[in-house]
Structure 1
Amino acid sequence: MSKAILGGGLSGLSAAYYLSKNLPNQSLTLIEASGRTGGWIKSNLRENGIIFEQGPRTIRPRGAAGQNTLQLIEDLGLSDKIIPILSNSPAAKNRMIYAKGGLHMVPSSLGALFKKQEPFTKPLISYLLNDLKTGRKRVQDESIYDFIDRRFGEEVADYLISPLICGVCAGNAKEISVKFLMKELFEYEQKYGSVSGGIARNLFTTSKKSKILSKLSQRAKREKWNIYSFTDGCETLPVALRDSIIGNNVNIILNTECKEIVTDKNKIILHLSDNKTNNVDHLISAVPSTNLGSLVEKQHPELAHFLKKLVKNVSVAVVNLHFAKDVLKNAAFGLLVAPREHLPILGIIYDSCCFPKNSTGTVLTVMMGGHWFQHYFGENPEETLLLDTALSQLKQILHINDAPIQFKVNVLHHCLPQYVIGHNDSLLNINNYINKNKLPMSICGASYHGVGINDVILSAKNAVHHLTTSAN
């Protein structure tokens, strides 16, 4: 019995980890097209211990998915490498929006709901009360922008939700499905007629007894973690996963591209680069759905159609900058830019405020492009264009005129999937096709059940759980 995992990003590594734990005596192979594992997570260590995160940089501890990641971290022996941002720290409380040509603090307290605060023209409570007056609209799905605009007003959609979507998936809130981030609120409206009505009806509902928390989850709850990372950067996690699966006899094959996937009764035939093939009894695909669609298209055109329709992927430019002195006026996590400002950047992260190092200066990361990448930068922009754009935006928004003493420019091509309207229906079609045709294949990763670190790890765990339980 042999199984393969296609894709060596965080989801593929996690799938290999859980498979090796559940099926210790089976032959497991992980195939990765590039020369490294870890996918988009990459921590670039610089002089004086400074870390330039070129991809995801923080993890949330809450919810079932967050608890699952903490359990994984504990099992990998990484607990002592965590550095948390506590809920009472400036990096947790202070988050800003750039709108109407200026910086504005996102309201973070109950009292702030009753005060008029720029860029809003009314106290936030008045927008929340609008939900009580708004009737229900019967729809299967809609954009998160339209849902928020309809229930809470245009300003909430423009100045809270649209920047939030830029920060989460570098996307356009007018195209992203409401079920991506607000499925429960949407279902409250559809069932009870309003969001507030649904919240009120479910406020005292007895929830299922939660499972016993891991020691690390208990610590996170006790210490009130807001988010966290690792002392050597987020890449600590995929590196530990890689080392663990190698120790569990998983064969990792790098620099090997899959050209085509063929199903033959109860087998999967992987046609690889250099005219090699690999026959396995089950495949877990952890590559983007669009890539998987191209690989199965010859034999399964209908499945390929569903896979390619599921998401579109956008590119993000990441510019890491280290300044010799403190160039920030206040401590915060950072800022997001409202898309209606029509600027080429998505946001700026204050790395040195989030995770201070024992060195002087300021570290910032400017995130650019996303849904608007080609509009502002074309297909393959020069590094100088991206650096100059980042510096000019820092000058405009934060009034920083200093030149950086270190910098790193990186483009993450087609890195973030966009869960557009109808995503859930397309996902159902994919799973139905796989089950109906009894394909020996499982899917996991950022294309399907969430784009965050917690999401892709849990996606991999669930895929492995379904495979191992159905086999018994």
Structure 2
Amino acid sequence: MATAVVLGGGVSGLAAAYYLQRQVSRFSKIILLEASHRLGGWVSTTRFPDGAIYEHGPHSLRATGKPGQHTLTLLHELGLESEILPVTQTHHGAQNRYIFYKNQLHCLPTSFSSIFKKSSLLSQSLVWSLIRDLVSKRAPTDDDETVHSFISRRLGTEVADVLMSSMCRGIFAGDVHKLSVRACFPDLYQLEQNHRSLVLGSLFGGKSPANTCPLVKKSRQEKWALYSLKQGLEQLTETLTQVLHQNPKCELRLQSPCTGLQLDSGKATVQTENDCIKADHVFSTIFAQYLSPLLSDSHKDLKQPLAQISGANIIVVHLEFDGQVLPHQGFGHLVPHIEHTYFLGVIYDSSVFPSQDCQSSTSTRLTVMMGGSWFDQLLDVCPEMSEESLTDLALKFVSEQLGISAPLRRSQVKLQKNCIPHYQLGHKDRLSQMQNYIASYQLPLSLLGSSYKGPSVNDCILNSRLVVDSFVSP
């Protein structure tokens, strides 16, 4: 009886188990091990009796691109179409995105004509940055470089310092000066490699293959930009869990961390606190730094690059105010590193998904994000890390940046430790080193999850599918 073990019960692990259990012949037993008391990982939702929803991890999913289309296909398979809350491309929740810079909010360009106009955000209009890109040459070498170096070279230092810094803090909670462009923004890197110019590549680059899923077609016709689910994104991982529970060959073990992993050619031994599992293959979705110490010292050439993949600690503070208090409607605002260090930005939850507000009275929900690469600076300000002090700090920034002084109805604070990986310089080379090592020694191990090829829910689901498909293909 062939047995597969999945390490980790986040969205990557649940997706891997879901795709594995659909294979009719390869594995007759699938065991998923989760260290905590719940499944879902960083996809975590609090639902209040009055209808309000707080998302402690991802707040929404993109509907576009190959990863986005693949997740929509999964939702279609799970029968969740009627639970989707779409936000169209013309909705203010998708269109209006702000940056807080030089002590004021600036709306990012929302139309083609706006790139020709000088805004208060940059010293000159964006069209000059685009012209710079059109006349710039490819990098003289294919060596890895930081996101800041890449964007400065192609679009100018100011764009890198303000716009790209804000984006990196919003996606990775990371430092634009340390993140690898090849790993964090592979599409941008490939545009330069294939078309010399980001502008030319965007205009004339190839399109992704058409997806025939009815839900994907619907999203295209209605021009969805992003979406959530009526009961929050944890509704997705809960539905995956239900499907796996219904399959007799799937076994989901909570509070069952892997304590050791012995890998030999063709066989694996997975040690837990109460069991020793003989497996034919292990699909690890746990954070790379947590996987490294589970391996024996005989695999030091695999342990070392795993340990070098770092992650971000983020404080998520949910603030809910009485009344409608937002001065602007939109997705939210980010703060570049040159404006502030540990304060990353705010998501305007009530503006994007008003149906997830309190149903009994009017309120405004916001999510404040702090820490990331600057978590040590946050510790200097709030060494005790108490819920009260962190809430007060979040309120201070919301008051200064949004002018909100309304009564606070309720709040929640969550520390998300190592929740987003940081793909620093050399990340792609480390991945190649690990994959070559696994292949050379024919180890029964597949590496999945956000530590390797993309941190988003869409990335994680697609990568789980691709790895499972390649593994089970004849």
Normalised by the size of structure 2, how large is the TM-score? 0.94
Structure 1 partner of 2:144: 141
- Is the CA contact 1:158–1:340 (under 8 Å) kept in the aligned structure 2? yes
**Does residue 4 of the first structure (1) align with residue 5 of the second (2)?**
yes
Q: d(CA) in 1 for partners of 2:193 and 2:215?
A: 37
Q: d(CA) in 2 for partners of 1:315 and 1:42?
A: 16
**Does residue 236 of the first structure (1) align with residue 238 of the second (2)?**
no
- Is the CA contact 1:261–1:270 (under 8 Å) kept in the aligned structure 2? yes
Q: d(CA) in 1 for partners of 2:37 and 2:236?
A: 18
| Deviation of the 1:19 alpha carbon | 0.3
Q: Using the TM superposition, name which of 376-385 and 458-467 deviates more.
A: 376-385
- Is the CA contact 1:314–1:416 (under 8 Å) kept in the aligned structure 2? yes
Structure 1 partner of 2:37: 35
- Is the CA contact 1:67–1:213 (under 8 Å) kept in the aligned structure 2? no
- Is the CA contact 2:211–2:217 (under 8 Å) kept in the aligned structure 1? no
Counterpart selection for 2:97 from 95, 98, 103: 95
Structure 2 partner of 1:248: 247
After the TM superposition, list the runs of 4 or more consecutive aligned residues in structure 1 that deviate by more than 4 angstroms.
190-193, 197-200
Q: What SS does the aligned partner of 1:448 have?
A: helix
Any residues of structure 2 matched to 1:16-415 within 5 Å, and which? 16-23=17-24, 26-139=28-141, 140-190=143-193, 193-199=196-202, 202-203=204-205, 210-249=209-248, 250-274=250-274, 276-309=275-308, 311-357=309-355, 358=359, 359-377=361-379, 381-415=385-419
- Is the CA contact 1:297–1:303 (under 8 Å) kept in the aligned structure 2? no
Q: d(CA) in 2 for partners of 1:319 and 1:464?
A: 36
Superposition CA RMSD, Å:
1.7
| Deviation of the 1:265 alpha carbon | 3.7
Q: What SS does the aligned partner of 1:119 have?
A: coil
- Is the CA contact 2:319–2:367 (under 8 Å) kept in the aligned structure 1? yes
- Is the CA contact 1:323–1:361 (under 8 Å) kept in the aligned structure 2? yes
Q: What SS does the aligned partner of 1:328 have?
A: coil
- Is the CA contact 2:293–2:303 (under 8 Å) kept in the aligned structure 1? yes
Q: d(CA) in 2 for partners of 1:465 and 1:297?
A: 28
- Relative distance call for 1:68 and 1:365 in structure 2 (3 A) is same
Q: What SS does the aligned partner of 1:340 have?
A: coil
| Deviation of the 1:380 alpha carbon | 6.7
- Is the CA contact 2:341–2:377 (under 8 Å) kept in the aligned structure 1? no
Q: d(CA) in 2 for partners of 1:51 and 1:467?
A: 38
| Deviation of the 1:321 alpha carbon | 1.2
Q: d(CA) in 1 for partners of 2:235 and 2:366?
A: 20
Query: 5+ residue gaps in structure 1?
Result: none
| Deviation of the 1:247 alpha carbon | 0.7
Q: What SS does the aligned partner of 2:354 have?
A: coil
Percent of counterpart pairs with the same letter? Answer: 35
Q: Using the TM superposition, name which of 35-44 and 369-378 deviates more.
A: 369-378
Q: d(CA) in 1 for partners of 2:12 and 2:225?
A: 23
Q: d(CA) in 2 for partners of 1:380 and 1:299?
A: 41
- Give the paired residue count: 464
Q: Using the TM superposition, name which of 107-116 and 288-297 deviates more.
A: 288-297
| Deviation of the 1:194 alpha carbon | 3.7
| Deviation of the 1:193 alpha carbon | 4.4
Normalised by the size of structure 1, how large is the TM-score? 0.95
Q: d(CA) in 1 for partners of 2:367 and 2:231?
A: 17
